[in-house]
Structure 1
């Protein structure tokens, strides 16, 4: 079959060219095969290189992404930029949507970082080192991420930069951590700078790695001079040991050996040798694994606190007015001395001996009352100064009361103690005290007790010295009295002091009771009711036995306890009288008052208070005061009596006749009754002088409009004599023995002895 040929083809020509074409084909076929093979090899090589390039890019990309970094490439000549997919993902942009040119890229940089980034880039393009810079890039959500760019410039042989290739790392977390760390550091710096303590950190070798401003002030050195210096070189810390000499006073403190501990009473030595009291605390600086890398030392300047503590200690042990020991510290130190002496005696060793003095100023009250308390204080200070100046080193002087002083002389025998006491006596006597252009002299009574007396307790020694001082006053004042156990006067004094303790206890425990004794009219019509009674006081001892007033009243009078007793008697007398049935109540109840209560405003208020509480008419109350108490301060007694008489009370003058000027004083005292002293009544039957005295007193009292009462009436003969004389009332065992005043604290009977004393 013939092939189809176009109609315009010349088949003859075709047949003529066929051999030539076949020859050419045969000649070119090997070359074509060779070219095809080369092309195939070239294609395969290109495909292999392409695969290798892709793999390389994948490895590079994975490597960057694995290190939390992305690839960036800047074609400087073409003004194009390439950022790897990791960067797009990290910033939240779609692939290829992030900056493609430098101009756009800089728009993504935070405006606060933009200028610095441009400068850093320009600086890098002119140099050969690696470009490193950190700045913030805007993410797709509008937030900014901190990135760190590290890139290298590619240059042509002539040095012109044509490309920059590098990595971009997201360092946001690190920057936030750094910012937080910086913030915490600044906060710590501010805190450490603001606290009042010196804070030092050291390494394990004790070298200073940090110190705050207070440390500079405490050590008086700048921080630069302290850094990396040894703590021991900059300052030394010593522990104080009180009561030791200076060479043995200090003990070095190792900085790190006591880490975790705190010490008080420490002294810091500055490099210049000056001292500062400090409180130190040390704590180790440990890593999370427990390894110690240093220590934190806190030093507090306690100069002011220590001065304050020393001041408080001084105030607690010294008298504020005089600066000498107060009573508490004086007794504490005396107790230590006595304990030491007792310990020596227990091991059969002879003690070193001591003497104790009790000093009471004479005529001090006159100056204090005349010139005022300021003058009294000035005098006390002057006396204290003079006493201190005359004592030996180691002797103690203390202020025991208002104008009372105590002195302790260690290692002192009896002869030396008496000699020193006489010197102190002369010293006080020679004091010339001036106040408001007036001159005063004073004296002092001194009681001395030595270790020879065999006292072993503070109470025994103080009581003995006080008793000896009292005896010095009793014997005329302004003298020295040495305590001896066989001294009869001191024995009486000791007994009275013991009773003082019993009286105070009885008052506290309400161990007093009241008795009453009838005061009987001797003539018809004087007291129709016949109910006139006197209150008598008794004390109940620890065994429940009654103690008559003659035993305890002298001690109460001597030691100013009578006002307390008077108030007890008044309260219980009013109460008992109010609680008696009307038919048993006396018309007149006589209550004794001591001289110490005359003029006492508190007693007046108590009487008014008791009247208001009980509702008793004060006209039924008759107060008895002794003649001696009345004439001791006559104007005061008259004013006191008149005030109570205005309230309705009556008064009796007790023990009348014992004074030398009784009759002279009687006309000035507004009393209702005169009680003739029992010393004139006992012998009135057989002694004409006593009878004459009673007759005179009775006549004068009646002339003044006063009733008379005879005390200590013990038999019918005395009663008959008194009736004959015309005495109005009689009281005593011959009339009726005392009996308990029921509901007044005592319901038991008592065997009264004739002549027993009444409540004063």
Structure 2
């Protein structure tokens, strides 16, 4: 049996080692695969982040302005900041030498003020294998060492618009990879340790018990054998009254004698047991083996669960079979000792579980005597306090008193415990190092059978980090992370309090709403880091110019709210004028540039006539945007009779109507045909949107889209249109054979909405609509205003097979200058040129020029506002590819392009 156990242990250990080795190798391969994927993703981001024309023929040092070079460095650095990658950069080869054309920098390099100029710096100690990438034109992973350190790097060949080859690259530090590998190895070793530690107590228990049982059995058998020969009568009496079951069996394994305890253990009478043949009737294989061992002259031993075949009793049995020999040395039977150890085993198991639970408890456990002197501490105690057991045994727990807990707490603690009750509370304790920590304590008295308190047991949990996190969460829930000001949620609570106070006590207060004018210019030209820094500086300036009791908040974006508590309107207006005056003198500086800062502010009174906090917010919002519409950098005080505010209220009403329509799905789709003019092709359709009011009247987009743009709801409408259009196309694919494509309009707000872009990509990839049938339209003004976002947006969806049309082309002042930077497929000529093409030669020249330039750039052209057959004929003569307008078709419910008119 022993050899089997050790063999099982050996197999167990071998299996653990083999499995962990296999798992470690697999996890290491996955780790390197993840690292390489991260390198490739980061390297491929370099061309998207850098200006399109940075790589070109005949590049030379100095032909790129230093401010653009540094701006490129900051953009690349912003990208890698939240990744494992340390550097991304681009390389070019000239005269068999490698030169940097861009590179990111670490936060340490930026903070240290190191030279951040990278353009055309020579890569003097480059690995020769990098040059091979230009020759093979294949991606290559290398582990390199240069003046910046040791890295695992990827080098990906790229080609610029004019055919100039260059390399996009990314580095991860070898030390970072090694740390990740070490962490993985430590995890595996930790897992192996857990498995092995599980085995140790089993082996120790088994080996100790085996030796003890063997020694005890030999002693008992020797003593009983001597007693048997000395005094058979005395032995018989001892056997009969023995606390263990004893029986004799002959060489055929038949029972010849059983004692009283044996009868009790088996649960069958003596007359049934005597004559019972064990070899013929026992079914337990291990018990039979122990019996056979004794019949061959060896000591037989059995321990484990057993069910008697006669009395049908279940027990935990310890059995010893001792062989007996005659005078010739032949085995003539044996004596067996049976002991029912069920209660003992159960008690030991419970005690072991309790001991293990206490020792391995995730909480500190301390046991003291009735005087409070420490008698036991578990392992977690040492981890938490730094004291080992020998340093505190016999000591009083006041050793941990930091002096920060009020004496009343300890008084209540002892009064509770000495009354026999459990005490719960939080103490501010001190570690061995002197560091303070918060401990949540549960202390209970332990009593004896007479109800007397003999000990106290304390369970303690270190909640220092929990309290810190709780405090942080509480602060974050009520404050803006960027400026440290109150956030919208907490400010609205304060506003509700003030409004209630004004109504109950006739007090007078003023609410102010501030919006920074032209804030988007900072973000677009200098990046979001600059925008965030400007918001922090402006918030500090405003906070310095108002009273300490005034409540300042940043609800989001470039907006601030001020609650002038117990203030007159004139006082509040003067305070905001002071803020505007100092802001006019203030210049926000970022790198080598500086910007003026101007604000628009709205004020409204809070007094007993103010109905609700929500109404006050609406009023001050209206006043602020009235100031902005009136020319910016000014203050406007809310008045119910103000015409400008009435217009803005109309926007607010439409914004509320749009929210309700989105929630209640009260938009519907229309479509207008786009007709081919130069060839026999299938027509296309442009999707248009209508809003259905509560009386089922159709509202044209011109009524509600301006409000959607003002209140940043346009992208939500775009999402609704995209979702419903793609679903409609999927549901009606069989009826779209006569249609070339469906065009969907996108607002300017959507071009910078990464979440919407991801939604479109997922919808297309998981949908059933062929991407060749999907077109998107963006207006020229929106594309130019969001040029970088528009380029990324267009390229991502073109990679899926979608097409793009540039709407209202020609309406901008620099239309042709920007056209080469917008990779669109179609140009929609602005209808203001098409409408008078027959009577105004300038309009005709514009249409001709746009059409010709579009064709030169491999783009198709679409003329809008084609309202007569004569205009259509002239467009055919000019070579325009498509026409759209009332002469072709009027907008109609989208289902009409498949079948007769249906309800919207």
Length-normalised TM-score, structure 1: 0.53
Give distance in 2, aligned partners of 1:185 and 1:554: 75
What's the counterpart of residue 165 of structure 1? none
What's the counterpart of residue 612 of structure 2? 457
Does the C-alpha gap of structure 1 residues 555 and 453 become closer, same or farther in structure 2, counting only changes over 3 Å? farther
What's the counterpart of residue 889 of structure 2? 736
Shift in Å at residue 448 of structure 1? 1.6
1:190 pairs, out of 364, 373, 379, with: 373
What's the counterpart of residue 479 of structure 1? 634
Q: Is the 8 A contact 2:368 2:376 kept in 1?
A: no
What's the counterpart of residue 725 of structure 2? 573
SS in 1 for 2:603: strand
Taking only aligned residues, the RMSD between alpha carbons, in angstroms, comes to: 5.6
Q: Is the 8 A contact 1:573 1:744 kept in 2?
A: no
Give distance in 1, aligned partners of 2:606 and 2:828: 51
Q: Is the 8 A contact 1:654 1:674 kept in 2?
A: yes
**Aligned residue runs from structure 1 range 557-706, under 5 A:** 557-578=709-730, 579-582=732-735, 585-598=738-751, 609-633=762-786, 637=790, 641=794, 648-662=801-815, 671-680=824-833, 688=839, 691-704=840-853, 705=855
Give distance in 1, aligned partners of 2:476 and 2:398: 33
Establish whether residue 327 from structure 1 lines up as the match of residue 479 from structure 2. Answer: no
Shift in Å at residue 319 of structure 1? 3.9
Does the C-alpha gap of structure 1 residues 748 and 500 become closer, same or farther in structure 2, counting only changes over 3 Å? farther
Q: Is the 8 A contact 2:369 2:375 kept in 1?
A: no
Does the C-alpha gap of structure 1 residues 420 and 581 become closer, same or farther in structure 2, counting only changes over 3 Å? same
Establish whether residue 359 from structure 1 lines up as the match of residue 532 from structure 2. Answer: no
Per-residue Cα deviation, 1:20-43 (whole angstroms, up to 9, x for no partner): xxxxxxxxxxxxxxxxxxxxxxxx
Give distance in 2, aligned partners of 1:635 and 1:314: 36
Establish whether residue 340 from structure 1 lines up as the match of residue 501 from structure 2. Answer: yes
Q: Is the 8 A contact 1:326 1:399 kept in 2?
A: yes
What's the counterpart of residue 179 of structure 1? none
Q: Is the 8 A contact 1:356 1:408 kept in 2?
A: yes
SS in 1 for 2:512: strand
**Aligned residue runs from structure 1 range 175-254, under 5 A:** 186-187=369-370, 189-190=372-373
Does the C-alpha gap of structure 1 residues 721 and 340 become closer, same or farther in structure 2, counting only changes over 3 Å? same
Establish whether residue 390 from structure 1 lines up as the match of residue 539 from structure 2. Answer: no
SS in 1 for 2:783: helix
Does the C-alpha gap of structure 1 residues 356 and 532 become closer, same or farther in structure 2, counting only changes over 3 Å? same
Q: Is the 8 A contact 2:478 2:486 kept in 1?
A: yes
Does the C-alpha gap of structure 1 residues 193 and 360 become closer, same or farther in structure 2, counting only changes over 3 Å? farther
Q: Is the 8 A contact 1:513 1:745 kept in 2?
A: no
Give distance in 2, aligned partners of 1:279 and 1:673: 69
Establish whether residue 409 from structure 1 lines up as the match of residue 558 from structure 2. Answer: no
Shift in Å at residue 265 of structure 1? 12
Q: Is the 8 A contact 2:502 2:607 kept in 1?
A: no
What's the counterpart of residue 519 of structure 1? 674
Give distance in 1, aligned partners of 2:799 and 2:480: 47
Aligned residues: 510
1:424 pairs, out of 562, 565, 579, with: 579
**Aligned residue runs from structure 1 range 307-318, under 5 A:** 314=475, 316-318=477-479
Give distance in 2, aligned partners of 1:312 and 1:583: 54
SS in 2 for 1:189: coil
Does the C-alpha gap of structure 1 residues 387 and 613 become closer, same or farther in structure 2, counting only changes over 3 Å? closer
Does the C-alpha gap of structure 1 residues 312 and 530 become closer, same or farther in structure 2, counting only changes over 3 Å? closer
Give distance in 1, aligned partners of 2:478 and 2:763: 44
Does the C-alpha gap of structure 1 residues 324 and 593 become closer, same or farther in structure 2, counting only changes over 3 Å? closer
Give distance in 2, aligned partners of 1:639 and 1:303: 48
SS in 1 for 2:722: helix
Shift in Å at residue 627 of structure 1? 2.8
Give distance in 2, aligned partners of 1:481 and 1:598: 32
What's the counterpart of residue 451 of structure 2? none
Shift in Å at residue 336 of structure 1? 0.6
Per-residue Cα deviation, 1:29-74 (whole angstroms, up to 9, x for no partner): xxxxxxxxxxxxxxxxxxxxxxxxxxxxxxxxxxxxxxxxxxxxxx
Establish whether residue 448 from structure 1 lines up as the match of residue 597 from structure 2. Answer: no
Q: Is the 8 A contact 2:783 2:790 kept in 1?
A: yes
Does the C-alpha gap of structure 1 residues 684 and 493 become closer, same or farther in structure 2, counting only changes over 3 Å? same
SS in 1 for 2:373: helix
Per-residue Cα deviation, 1:193-245 (whole angstroms, up to 9, x for no partner): 999xxxxxxxxxxxxxxxx956798798xxxxxxxxxxxxxx9969xxxxxxx
**Aligned residue runs from structure 1 range 117-156, under 5 A:** none
Q: Is the 8 A contact 1:465 1:483 kept in 2?
A: yes
Structure 2 unmatched ranges of 5 or more: 1-366, 379-394, 410-414, 429-437, 445-455
Structure 1 unmatched ranges of 5 or more: 1-183, 196-211, 221-234, 239-254, 268-276, 284-295, 752-760
What's the counterpart of residue 647 of structure 2? 492
Give distance in 2, aligned partners of 1:623 and 1:677: 17
Does the C-alpha gap of structure 1 residues 638 and 696 become closer, same or farther in structure 2, counting only changes over 3 Å? farther
Give distance in 2, aligned partners of 1:643 and 1:186: 73
SS in 2 for 1:400: strand
Length-normalised TM-score, structure 2: 0.46
Does the C-alpha gap of structure 1 residues 352 and 673 become closer, same or farther in structure 2, counting only changes over 3 Å? same
Give distance in 2, aligned partners of 1:405 and 1:424: 12
Per-residue Cα deviation, 1:735-759 (whole angstroms, up to 9, x for no partner): 33322223999998689xxxxxxxx
Shift in Å at residue 320 of structure 1? 4.6
What's the counterpart of residue 550 of structure 1? 702
Does the C-alpha gap of structure 1 residues 304 and 213 become closer, same or farther in structure 2, counting only changes over 3 Å? farther
Does the C-alpha gap of structure 1 residues 727 and 303 become closer, same or farther in structure 2, counting only changes over 3 Å? closer
Q: Is the 8 A contact 1:739 1:749 kept in 2?
A: no
Q: Is the 8 A contact 2:752 2:786 kept in 1?
A: no
What's the counterpart of residue 114 of structure 2? none
Q: Is the 8 A contact 1:497 1:555 kept in 2?
A: yes
Q: Is the 8 A contact 1:740 1:747 kept in 2?
A: no
Does the C-alpha gap of structure 1 residues 576 and 236 become closer, same or farther in structure 2, counting only changes over 3 Å? closer
Does the C-alpha gap of structure 1 residues 379 and 744 become closer, same or farther in structure 2, counting only changes over 3 Å? farther
Does the C-alpha gap of structure 1 residues 381 and 494 become closer, same or farther in structure 2, counting only changes over 3 Å? same
Per-residue Cα deviation, 1:456-489 (whole angstroms, up to 9, x for no partner): 2222222222333333333443332222222233
Shift in Å at residue 449 of structure 1? 1.5
Give distance in 2, aligned partners of 1:745 and 1:449: 54
Does the C-alpha gap of structure 1 residues 380 and 582 become closer, same or farther in structure 2, counting only changes over 3 Å? closer
